[in-house]
Structure 1
Amino acid sequence: MTSTADPRRARSRGKLLDAAADLLVSGGAAAVTVEAVTRASGVARTTLYRNFPSTDALIAAAFRRLLPAPAAPPGDLPVRDQLVHLCTSLTQLLQSAPMQQSLLGWLAMGRHVPDDDEVGELRRGVVDAYTAPLHEILSAAEADGTLVPGDRDLALAQLGGPPVLARLIGLRPYTQEDVERLVDDFLRARLPGDAR
């Protein structure tokens, strides 16, 4: 990732990201071209390439700037209600935010590059935004014996995967009842044996 210790370089990077984010919002990833970003930002092409080695790196940095995160639930709710709250927030983001769908679609197109660049940072940012609140809920529930410990990445896929897939391939939107069923099915598999 590029260092931004020089204030002029940081200012130029900020202008480039502002322009790229605006283009991303108004026209999607296809609108974020070197020509469009340099024109909108007033920053030279050579400066763009000093800050971002590729258009993918620029798009990833702009997506990261715009990345919405699901709302974390209040911690004083029962575990089921916390999970329903979190999954509802995630589902609403997916269904109502075109940027979220665009971001997931862009990443799903197979941007396989080293993890030390902007695309890798974007992937980690997406994972962190979705896993942090889920890990917190599951850690507390596993610690107090409400749930059997299990694979956290699998839990994220089980709870977040279906709404993501539905959105990406154009299935009907998830309803609140669908979210609750998803959470209840997940919880049934994670309850201690005597609680089933």
Structure 2
Amino acid sequence: MPQPKRGRPRAFDRDQALLDAARLFWRRGYSGTSTRDLTARLGLSTSSLYGAFGSKAELFEEAVRTYAERYREIYEQAVSAPDFRTVVERVLIDSVHEFTRPDDEHPGCLLSSAAMADSTSTLDTSAYFAELQGHNERILRTRAERAIEEGELPPDTDASALTGLIQSIWHGLSARANLGADREDLLATARLGH
């Protein structure tokens, strides 16, 4: 009789495991996701889970960071657009497409959800969220300042206030996606936002 398999599967795909864990945390929250849920979803034994990720908290943090890189990339690509209107359009529309990916089981932004859920009292997710949002806001504000200097935006434009407005629209789109708004409705809103 064959021996049951032990340990981490040979075909362990860390990136896929992080995505699967992120989706599970997204659906159930940090506190609502047990180690048993994680091992079942990832196809790992408890010892392999801890061997690969350290702890549930470390897995959560790595899953959130890995997932959040999608949004960092959206912003970094958007600010290279030749005009500020296209920058805003790319940030909002590309984010809507990310919020409503058909291969994700949960709409919206995991990081926004995590920062507002029970995980913030358990983990330092809010610090990472602030770091990521700070990065995205800085590069967007810098791009707005450049648009002002180049005469693309009126000279009395407040780059910080404009960035805050764009970020508020972004968070609203994420929240609406979390509540089940469909892609076309969100895209229509995003188009009005730029």
TM-score band by shorter chain is: 0.5 to 0.7
1:154 Cα shift? Answer: 2.0
Decide whether aligned partners of structure 1 residues 156 and 126 sit closer, same or farther in structure 2, where only a CA change above 3 A counts: farther
1:157 Cα shift? Answer: 3.0
Match of 2:192 among 181, 184, 190: 181
Which residue does 1:108 correspond to in 2? Answer: 116
Residue by residue, what CA displacement relative to the aligned partner does 1:87-145 show, whole Å, maximum 9, x if unpaired? 1111111121626636133332143348xx65245424542564354234223123335
Correspondence 1:89 to 2:90: no
Correspondence 1:131 to 2:143: no
Q: How does 1:17-36 map to 2 (within 5 A)?
A: 21=18, 23-24=20-21, 28-29=24-25, 30=28, 33-35=34-36, 36=38
TM-score by length of 1: 0.60
Which residue does 1:189 correspond to in 2? Answer: none
Residue by residue, what CA displacement relative to the aligned partner does 1:141-171 show, whole Å, maximum 9, x if unpaired? 2333524123366234333123112101123
Unaligned residue ranges in structure 1 (runs of 5+): 1-14, 184-196
Residue by residue, what CA displacement relative to the aligned partner does 1:37-94 show, whole Å, maximum 9, x if unpaired? 4971663687689x44xx3443122221233122523635221122112211111111
- Tell me: higher relative CO, structure 1 or 2? Use CA pairs within 8 A at least 6 residues apart: 2
Contact between 1:79 and 1:141, CA under 8 Å: does it hold in 2? yes
Decide whether aligned partners of structure 1 residues 92 and 132 sit closer, same or farther in structure 2, where only a CA change above 3 A counts: farther
Decide whether aligned partners of structure 1 residues 101 and 76 sit closer, same or farther in structure 2, where only a CA change above 3 A counts: closer
Task: Give me the whole-angstrom Cα distance separating, in 1, the residues matched to 2:150 and 2:182.
Answer: 37
Contact between 1:21 and 1:65, CA under 8 Å: does it hold in 2? yes
Q: How does 1:156-175 map to 2 (within 5 A)?
A: 156-173=166-183, 174=185
Task: Give me the whole-angstrom Cα distance separating, in 2, the residues matched to 1:144 and 1:41.
Answer: 57
Which residue does 2:6 correspond to in 1? Answer: none
Task: Give me the whole-angstrom Cα distance separating, in 2, the residues matched to 1:123 and 1:33.
Answer: 23
SS of residue in 2 equivalent to 1:96: coil
Q: How does 1:13-52 map to 2 (within 5 A)?
A: 21=18, 23-24=20-21, 28-29=24-25, 30=28, 33-35=34-36, 36-37=38-39, 40=44, 43=47, 51-52=54-55
Decide whether aligned partners of structure 1 residues 44 and 73 sit closer, same or farther in structure 2, where only a CA change above 3 A counts: closer
TM-score by length of 2: 0.61
Aligned residues: 163
Q: Equivalent pairs: percent with the same residue?
A: 7
Correspondence 1:64 to 2:65: yes
Task: Give me the whole-angstrom Cα distance separating, in 1, the residues matched to 2:128 and 2:81.
Answer: 31
